[in-house]
Structure 1
């Protein structure tokens, strides 16, 4: 979607059980700031923005001319409070940086989740990089980040938990079903592997045979097709079975 709509690099926020809303908004590094202040060559005017980096969600909410795309990956692995904590952010499209609001001058140039290496092009010469240039330090005024256009947020879930109704009613839910037949699986293999998908019908058929007896994932088939083409194996079926172990039940010896 980001490529087709020309919305720049995708911002990626992988979720774990320890992830908090603050992790997605911004990070503040007080230890590095304290160390820099104690150096003899420390500048007289402190640049607090050097110690604040916006997270993927915080970067997505910057006032870009066009919205960014944010992938929140595996939201169901989060702490139980995170979906509810996101509601206010999704409602208002803004947040405060507490370390800035407490200062006499609550404005600063902070770093973003894109990072300087994220952009394939350097900033324009002779001036500050524009806000739509990924990797630029951006100015936060009055300690508040407020979006111009709401970002396009895609959240993935493995269905391992339920979400509160207030959260779900702000989402458009799309369930990705398993491929329905060999023709659909073959099309997926061709889309991912191109010419390597030629003469892979036997592996697609074997995948379906095995999936009737246990849980398999489509990427296991892609791995099997790829390796069987490069390994020059005499027994493709045996190699494919070892690459496509069942994801449920007891683990095979090998």
Structure 2
């Protein structure tokens, strides 16, 4: 990692895991990516990252090239499409950026083959609202039905709320999605806004509605429109199980995270387990690198082995080798 004295002046994210406030000097968006819609609103992040998320962000080790790409994505307001083998830290990068730049908890959107754009934007419980209305008509419940209680913004919808600072959105394993989802995302990524059609139908005296957010908070939506003031920092991960449409790929910055070499492995082990752990675990690290030549193994498998050895699991050499085979089973190997 570049030393502090050599940090390029244009970097906002440094990749050293030390929180700072450089996001305040993020330049204006490019002229072709304008979003200023009135005065910048106050940040209203409803919660802080939990201990697990904070730890993931703190210990992530980014190399110079990756930090360059992150800063380019921040300045250009473009999604960052990360590819690479499982276990190389693609998802963890989102937590590292959010932690270092103080952007609140990461909004996580895991994708499956059934995921649609609507899932990421918002969910409307029409059945629940109808049930409440029926109870009120039957005199079994007092009050009026508040549609906001049945609307919850998804991770993408929450990331697009108007904030002075960008939120961090992790779209995990987009390559598992239906073939249409990447193209469906294009308009939202370009415009930074979307409509909630259930709110568009409301009478004029009910145009301001308090809805639930994906991070446990509440936000007021007016006229059925959600428009961001700052483009979210979007990290999209892919295990390269499919190709993406050219129109989608063109709007992302793509970076392939390679498995860490010896130097980066040393930094990862020290960050997770302490500075003295690497010297004690050097034989295990060398064995891990040899194992990786024969198939895919992830960094957390190395960390697991070091943790077991420090607990004394390596006292019996024969049993230890059998246990290592279990812990280091190649990711493409079946049960």
Deviation at 1:58, TM superposition (A): 0.2
Larger helix proportion of the pair: 2
> For residues 15-56 of structure 1, what are the alpha-carbon distances to aligned partners after superposition, in whole Å with 9 as ceiling and x for unaligned?
111111000000011222223221546343321100000000
Match of residue 125 from structure 1: none
Structure 1 residues 248 and 45: CA distance shift in structure 2, 3 A: closer
Q: Which moved more, 1:143-152 or 1:49-58?
A: 143-152
Any unmatched runs of 5+ in structure 2?
1-96
**Aligned-partner Cα distance in 1 for 2:312–2:114:** 40
Structure 1 residues 65 and 204: CA distance shift in structure 2, 3 A: same
The counterpart of 2:237, out of the listed 151, 156, 172, is 156
**Aligned-partner Cα distance in 2 for 1:99–1:230:** 56
1:121-160 correspondence runs (5 A): 135=217, 137-160=218-241
SS, match of residue 109 in structure 2: strand
Match of residue 191 from structure 1: 271
**Aligned-partner Cα distance in 2 for 1:168–1:79:** 16
SS, match of residue 156 in structure 1: strand
1:88-237 correspondence runs (5 A): 88-104=187-203, 105-115=206-216, 135=217, 137-180=218-261, 182-194=262-274, 196-234=277-315, 235=317, 236-237=320-321
The counterpart of 1:64, out of the listed 163, 170, 184, is 163
**Aligned-partner Cα distance in 1 for 2:102–2:296:** 37
TM, length-normalised to structure 1: 0.84
Match of residue 19 from structure 1: 115
Deviation at 1:249, TM superposition (A): 4.4
SS, match of residue 222 in structure 1: helix
TM, length-normalised to structure 2: 0.65
SS, match of residue 239 in structure 2: coil
The answer as to whether partners of 1:197 and 1:225 remain within 8 angstroms in 2 is no
> For residues 208-228 of structure 1, what are the alpha-carbon distances to aligned partners after superposition, in whole Å with 9 as ceiling and x for unaligned?
222222222222111111122
Deviation at 1:71, TM superposition (A): 0.8
The answer as to whether partners of 2:285 and 2:302 remain within 8 angstroms in 1 is yes
SS, match of residue 291 in structure 2: helix
**Aligned-partner Cα distance in 2 for 1:211–1:138:** 48
SS, match of residue 148 in structure 2: helix
Deviation at 1:110, TM superposition (A): 0.3
Matched, 1:50 2:142: no
Question: Aligned Cα RMSD in Å?
Answer: 1.8
**Aligned-partner Cα distance in 2 for 1:14–1:150:** 20
SS, match of residue 200 in structure 1: helix
SS, match of residue 253 in structure 2: coil
Residues matched between the structures, number: 230
